[in-house]
Structure 1
Amino acid sequence: MTNSVKETSEVVDVVVVGGGPVGLWLAAEARLGGASVVLVERRVERVRQSRALTIHGRTLETFGLRGLSSRFLEVGRPMPTWHFASLDTRLDFSGFDTPYPFTLFIPQSLTEAILEDHAVEAGVDVRRGAVVVGIEDRGDQVDVALEDGGVISSRWVVGSDGARSIVRRTADIDFPGLAATESIAMGDVVLDLPDGAPLGGGQNEFGGASIIPSGDGVHSRVIVLDTTRRHVPQNEPLTLEELRESLRRTTGTDFGARDASWLTRFTNETRLASSYRKGRLLLAGDAAHIHAPMGGQGLNVGVQDAMNLGWKLALVATDRAPEGLLETYESERRPVGERLFANTAAQYKLASDFSPANRYLRDVVSGLLAVPEANRVMAGEVSGFSVSYPQPLVADSEPTSGAGRRTPDLPLTDGSTLHHALAEGKFVRVTTPGDRAIPLPAAFRQVPVLDVRAERLDIDDVPAAGSIIVRPDGYTLAGSGADATPRSRPSVSIQRLNPEDLHGAPGFISQIVQARGSLAFLAGQVAQRADGTWVGLGSHREQAEQIARNIDTALRALDLRRDAIVKETIYVVDYSPALLRDIVGPLRDSYTAPPASTLVGVDTLFAAEALIEVEVTVAVEA
């Protein structure tokens, strides 16, 4: 049960300040990892309002790693697609290898209830009504002073205490960004909507409105940016009548709005902490990043912060891993915060400018999202499915192709699955029959590892291996071939050809995979305009890694592994000298295959603006 505030001084491994979803998940993860954890929360009771409604697929997957996803699915409402800046083209999650290719609507009040029960079950000491009034980092420990006179001493303190975080202020960590310039009305109200009505709203020269389900099956979440009310102070109470007037002004109807369960205003303030750690103080969730609630990403990114930090903090706090491991928390998660800053600011601009020029811009961006590759990039970013941590986790780890990639729920030989094996929060080593288990890096030799077996390790983003180690947060730590050593990288044959030497067809063609006897056929996935801009994925390395993934996809179409390849060649038609440097180099580094190489077939496609296209045909044994 939740405990009352204690007045005596005590010492624990970790104190988490803030008992929202991020703090509760972080506390549970640190406790699961073996640390003693106290969570202090100023509120006596959990939130009653719906607040953060959206749980994206990767967050559901994260909860599933600890056996909790069913609790959310029982009370949430799944939505198969999602929006970007309320544009007409929806984000499609169906292409991701996951049990949760959707977004779940669930009130934050229910989310907190589930997560608090889980934290208490894990052994977290949850203390409500505990107001932190002072924090002192003494070098070897941190003292947390409470309003009632009690003091808790701990080895580490994490602030998940929101935008006005006392932990961040105590650490004197800067919080730069974009100041609030306007406010937006938001309310959970009962509306008269047709049965089965899709997400929607409308916009005109007076502003715009969005309407989504609130998750309780009764209310709808209404968000209105009324140009005549956008400069109202955030702290001015919002009334139901004002919300109805703004709806009528921006959509032509108030939809019979009534029975409000929550009325509030939010702003477009967007900030990112300059650092996620100072000394023994760390930040997670809104204490580290805030933004306009565009795309429902805040809670989700915060939970992923907590998932990344929790197991690392537990190992360091219990002296089973070097303190340097905590440096990887910022190096892995702050770049995600930077992307969150950028995409929410961009979405807000697209959604809040009602000028004719911006309407054209919205149409153009919506059209771009209709391109499958572009849609997948944004769907992966918003959902969290595409997040990866490619840098070595510890100093004695060698870079491994596929390291830091999200690991899908692989079937195991005992009838269970990989995600089920991760439920205890341990490292999991998966080995295929006849292959040797890859050893843990020296830095983790004191860490327990659970050994399991799988018939095959067919993972899109992880090159073929005989053994892999999966981190407690579900990302691949390392992988190896059958001899428990990284496979040698082959020499990939790269030749420069002239367009007139090959035949082709106009137009950009996205990925096509076909099985033709003993051939796996792959077409047109990498493209660059003459001005240097890219069509498709967002970076050169991502382009290279996409080629490697596509080759794996083609092989799977024939139910073959990479070691079945006899020979192969990659041909490049090059309009830009940068291509060989920026694509071929990363491709050679990221793609592992047998050393023999020859051409079986190649067809290069062309489009306007001198697009570069790469196509690979792989020959396999019959």
Structure 2
Amino acid sequence: MEPVIIVGAGPVGLALALSLARHEVPTVVLDAGDGRITPRPARSCVLRPDTAALVQRLIAPEPLPGARWMVWRTLRRGQVLEQRDFTPADAPLHVPEHTLRKAFRAAAGRTGLVRIVDHSKVVELEAYEDGVRARTKGEQGEVWRGSHLVGCDGIRSTVRKLLGTRFPGRTAVERHAVAALRVALPWPEEALLHREMPGGKGGEVCARALPSGVWRLDWLLPARGELVTPDALLERIQETLAAWTGEQDPAYELLDTGVHTAHQRLARQWRRGRVLLAGDAAHLLGALGTQAVDEGLRDVDNLAWKLALHRLGAGDEGLLDSYEQERRGAVVARLRAVDQALPLVRNAGALRTLLPGGARSRLTLLTDGHLGRGTLGAAPEHRGSPLTTAPLGGGVATEPGERAEDIPLTALDGTRQALSERLGARLLVVLVAPGTAVWDSRHWLNAGVMPELAAAVRALPAPAELFVTESYPGAAAHTVLVVRPDGYLAAALPGVHREELGRVVATLAGWADGRDRASDGGPPAGSSRGGGATDPDPAPGREPAEDGARVAGQGTA
């Protein structure tokens, strides 16, 4: 079967290639750059627990890059208005983008399923009933074939332009002067947001720890105007460090600088047939602490398993439609929350009228995006998704469409792992079976409801893995949980009901007539329904240059 073509070798494109490799799906990553990764510590991203766990799965067995903050502080003048202490499980991960890209490139080389082709700018594409073709710029005009194509090529996405998809929004919603320093600050492994520093010129600065004693500092600038000269930036650094350390001439090493400008834009369409958009090609955000790479990785987690099922023929068109419905809907909610919060956070008069508590409430709202909570920062929910089954009386604390708890699981071979470590490949079917944690799996594999449930899982219309767990919040014994590969609870069934389980998985695969699909088992896992052509190709993903003349019509996908 032909590979999936991914355009763009940034963090999102590489993460998608690695996620598809977990499904044994080959990919060709076409990138206009030369493959060199320049260290830029002033370009960094903050990953929440869900996206950090995704990165760990993709680069395993290598450890996560970056630094975790164990404490966050919000300060006004010299007073701490809020402090949050994190556990290792929920601490944000702060990582330089170049480090993340290096880790992804190294992991891609270990899979044997990811081919990265540099110096390959896409100039034409065409989608047809069962595949996609893309032409890249070069002396021979190479043409690449794939089952699907995903544009992960950033803010100036060529794929989006070839599709003719509009990208409306607002420019320069927020700007920050940025500096990466190696310096000793009083808060190791921490992060803070400080407004109106004593002895300074006021304003707002955010400091976030990176590995090896490096810190990223961001100073809020007017949305437009005010060029940041080198002398002005050095003055800001000196003034800020003096206020924090109490030294008039604090020692530091300046590593990198820049200006970060946050835009808010949203593509009108994220899918047109077999061509899709993800990451900055689909959306731009970054004001009030929201994180663009974080949201791009959530696109990846949502899309990868759906593409894999669609290629297998185990997922209908509704499954790919749900990617845009779920992820675009989540980003719309995030952008709307930023629009509503900006005048409250930046306009003290409006804040006093609408938010009781004055400056304290103002800063609490401002830190939501940084801390990954509330509408500005928390992981989205998909309770209104067409893939979500209505609650069926399972009684669990998690509603379908919410992220499942990271519970310990036991596989049928007796191995034990956290649920977060098993995500990213197949659907998870989990039986709540008190007592199984203390027994060897051979004692319960053929006891109780397990044989019936195992047979039901084998007959499902999409690949799934069966696990047991000792307990789940609010769940009674013999509750059956269905968890999507991206960690969202699809359904909780009050017992083993083979037909109902089949209907849930058929709905999850995007079939509107889920009940009928459940009864006939759906298409076989190896069918070509929805997949690409299966004729052999001596160089998968690539056609001879002389065949390229057949590809025409920019933006016809």
TM-score by length of 2: 0.70
Distance change (3 Å), C-alpha of 1:398 and 1:263: same
C-alpha distance in structure 2 between counterparts of 1:256 and 1:99, whole Å = 31
- Out of 175, 192, 198, the position equivalent to 1:199 is 192
Distance change (3 Å), C-alpha of 1:348 and 1:70: farther
Structure 1 residue aligned with 2:212: 217
Structure 1 residue aligned with 2:147: 155
1:169 aligned onto 2:161: yes
Identity %: 25
Give the secondary structure class of the aligned counterpart of 1:451.
strand
Distance change (3 Å), C-alpha of 1:110 and 1:249: closer
Distance change (3 Å), C-alpha of 1:360 and 1:263: farther
Distance change (3 Å), C-alpha of 1:483 and 1:463: same
Structure 1 residue aligned with 2:473: 459
C-alpha distance in structure 2 between counterparts of 1:376 and 1:181, whole Å = 17
Structure 2 residue aligned with 1:437: 453
C-alpha distance in structure 1 between counterparts of 2:321 and 2:143, whole Å = 28
Structure 1 residue aligned with 2:317: 323
**Structure 1 unmatched runs, 5+:** 1-10, 488-622
Give the secondary structure class of the aligned counterpart of 1:175.
coil
List per-residue Cα deviations over 1:587-614 (Å, max 9, x = no partner): xxxxxxxxxxxxxxxxxxxxxxxxxxxx
Structure 1 residue aligned with 2:230: 240
Distance change (3 Å), C-alpha of 1:279 and 1:420: closer
C-alpha distance in structure 1 between counterparts of 2:496 and 2:173, whole Å = 59
Give the secondary structure class of the aligned counterpart of 2:299.
helix
Structure 1 residue aligned with 2:527: none
List per-residue Cα deviations over 1:106-160 (Å, max 9, x = no partner): 2112222222223333321122332222323345432212122211122211111
Structure 2 residue aligned with 1:48: 39
- Give the C-alpha shift of residue 367 in structure 1: 3.3
Q: Which amino acid aligns with 2:426?
A: K
Distance change (3 Å), C-alpha of 1:474 and 1:191: same
**Structure 2 unmatched runs, 5+:** 394-398, 434-447, 501-557
Give the secondary structure class of the aligned counterpart of 2:213.
coil
Distance change (3 Å), C-alpha of 1:378 and 1:432: closer
2:5–2:29 Cα contact (<8 Å) kept: yes
1:189–1:221 Cα contact (<8 Å) kept: yes
Structure 2 residue aligned with 1:564: none
Q: Which amino acid aligns with 1:431?
A: L
Distance change (3 Å), C-alpha of 1:75 and 1:375: closer
C-alpha distance in structure 2 between counterparts of 1:265 and 1:282, whole Å = 30
1:208 aligned onto 2:203: yes
1:33 aligned onto 2:23: yes
Give the secondary structure class of the aligned counterpart of 2:147.
strand
Distance change (3 Å), C-alpha of 1:326 and 1:365: farther
Cα RMSD of the aligned pairs, angstroms, is 4.1
Distance change (3 Å), C-alpha of 1:361 and 1:121: farther
Structure 2 residue aligned with 1:129: 119
Distance change (3 Å), C-alpha of 1:430 and 1:483: closer
1:13 aligned onto 2:3: yes
Structure 1 residue aligned with 2:519: none
- Give the C-alpha shift of residue 209 in structure 1: 3.5
C-alpha distance in structure 1 between counterparts of 2:379 and 2:60, whole Å = 18
Q: Which amino acid aligns with 2:489?
A: T
C-alpha distance in structure 2 between counterparts of 1:18 and 1:130, whole Å = 9
C-alpha distance in structure 1 between counterparts of 2:237 and 2:221, whole Å = 8
Equivalent runs, 1:74-473 vs 2, <5 Å: 75-81=66-72, 89-90=81-82, 92=84, 100-122=89-111, 123-148=113-138, 149-180=141-172, 183-191=175-183, 193-194=185-186, 196=188, 199-203=192-196, 208-227=203-222, 230-232=224-226, 239-246=229-236, 256=250, 259-346=253-340, 348-349=342-343, 352=346, 364=358, 366-367=360-361, 379=373, 381=375, 384-385=378-379, 387-393=381-387, 400=392, 402-413=399-410, 414=414, 416-419=416-419, 422=422, 425-433=425-433, 434-435=448-449, 437=453, 445-456=460-471, 458-459=472-473, 466-473=479-486
Structure 2 residue aligned with 1:482: 495
- Give the C-alpha shift of residue 249 in structure 1: 7.9
2:173–2:261 Cα contact (<8 Å) kept: yes
Q: Which amino acid aligns with 2:403?
A: R
- Give the C-alpha shift of residue 92 in structure 1: 4.8
Distance change (3 Å), C-alpha of 1:279 and 1:85: farther
Give the secondary structure class of the aligned counterpart of 1:129.
coil
- Give the C-alpha shift of residue 16 in structure 1: 1.0
Give the secondary structure class of the aligned counterpart of 1:231.
coil
C-alpha distance in structure 2 between counterparts of 1:84 and 1:112, whole Å = 33
C-alpha distance in structure 1 between counterparts of 2:424 and 2:167, whole Å = 35
- Give the C-alpha shift of residue 359 in structure 1: 8.1
- Give the C-alpha shift of residue 37 in structure 1: 0.8
List per-residue Cα deviations over 1:201-246 (Å, max 9, x = no partner): 433896623142351333322222345x94147xxxx543221235
C-alpha distance in structure 2 between counterparts of 1:334 and 1:469, whole Å = 24
C-alpha distance in structure 2 between counterparts of 1:411 and 1:473, whole Å = 16
Distance change (3 Å), C-alpha of 1:438 and 1:329: farther
2:241–2:250 Cα contact (<8 Å) kept: no
1:428–1:451 Cα contact (<8 Å) kept: yes
1:15–1:40 Cα contact (<8 Å) kept: yes
List per-residue Cα deviations over 1:145-176 (Å, max 9, x = no partner): 21222111222111111111111112222212
C-alpha distance in structure 1 between counterparts of 2:186 and 2:100, whole Å = 28
C-alpha distance in structure 1 between counterparts of 2:235 and 2:314, whole Å = 59
- Give the C-alpha shift of residue 103 in structure 1: 1.0
C-alpha distance in structure 1 between counterparts of 2:424 and 2:369, whole Å = 35
Give the aligned length: 460
Give the secondary structure class of the aligned counterpart of 2:220.
strand
C-alpha distance in structure 2 between counterparts of 1:375 and 1:211, whole Å = 12
Q: Which amino acid aligns with 1:186?
A: V
Give the secondary structure class of the aligned counterpart of 2:408.
coil
- Give the C-alpha shift of residue 38 in structure 1: 0.8
Q: Which amino acid aligns with 2:473?
A: I
List per-residue Cα deviations over 1:493-522 (Å, max 9, x = no partner): xxxxxxxxxxxxxxxxxxxxxxxxxxxxxx
Q: Bigger relative contact order, structure 1 or 2, given CA contacts below 8 A and separation 6+?
A: 2
Q: Which amino acid aligns with 1:163?
A: I
Give the secondary structure class of the aligned counterpart of 1:199.
strand
Distance change (3 Å), C-alpha of 1:80 and 1:419: farther
List per-residue Cα deviations over 1:414-442 (Å, max 9, x = no partner): 35134266257111211234345398799
C-alpha distance in structure 2 between counterparts of 1:429 and 1:93, whole Å = 34
Distance change (3 Å), C-alpha of 1:485 and 1:145: closer
